[in-house]
Amino acid sequence: MLALKKLCQVYHRNQKGFHLVEVMVALALLGVIVVAFLGAVSMAYRANSFADERTTAKSLAISQLEYIKNQDYDYDDGTPLHPQYDMISDIPVGYAVGVTAEPLDDPDNGIQRITVTVEHHSEGVISLVGYKVER
């Protein structure tokens, strides 16, 4: 028992100044954890922004395509410009919607390929193709 007591006293005497090293190691470890956590939060934010952008663009493209399908059929009159259809009016800020309508046959026999392209801040996000039939 005396030997154990003496060993404990020797151990405690040798511990002077070791607390500073422990604190520095703990701070370094905490710093690494914080940097990793901030990286994960940043990645999650970017992924969420990307998903939000894609969802908004897809919704706009589908809405525009359905809106065109419900309009009267616009025949190609032989000019270089293809038929022009009205655009939906409630487009979010920063987004742009482009539409092309091409008759499948020449002359136009009542079927057109409609391509809707959505851009966000001048970068293409999604392009959707559908067909309009004269009813």
Query: Is residue 24 included in any domain, yes or no?
Result: yes
Q: Could you tell me which residues come within 8 angstroms of residue 66 by beta carbon, excluding any fewer than 6 positions away?
A: none
List the domain range (segments joined by +) for residue 66: 19-133
Query: Is residue 74 included in any domain, yes or no?
Result: yes
Query: Is residue 8 included in any domain, yes or no?
Result: no
The pLDDT confidence band at residue 39, using thresholds 50, 70 and 90, is very high
Contact 113, 105 (CB under 8 A): no
pTM of the full structure: 0.68
Query: Is residue 5 included in any domain, yes or no?
Result: no
Average of per-residue pLDDT values in the chain: 83
* Torsions phi, psi for 78 (to 5 deg): 90, -5
Query: Is residue 29 included in any domain, yes or no?
Result: yes
Q: What is the DSSP letter of 77?
A: -
Query: Is residue 37 included in any domain, yes or no?
Result: yes
How many structural domains are present in the chain? 1
User: Is residue 129 within a helix (H) or strand (E), and if so which, with residue range?
Assistant: strand 123-133
Residue 2: is its pLDDT beyond 70? no
Give the least confident one: 51-55, 69-73, 81-85, 119-123: 81-85
From the list 26, 28, 50, 30, the residue with the least C-alpha distance to 38 is 30
The pLDDT confidence band at residue 6, using thresholds 50, 70 and 90, is low
CB count within 10 Å of CB 102 equals 12
Query: Is residue 108 included in any domain, yes or no?
Result: yes
CATH number at residue 35: 3.30.1300.30
Q: Could you tell me which residues come within 8 angstroms of residue 73 by beta carbon, excluding any fewer than 6 positions away?
A: 110, 112, 132, 133, 134, 135
Q: Rounded to a whole number, what is the largest CA-CA distance in the chain?
A: 109
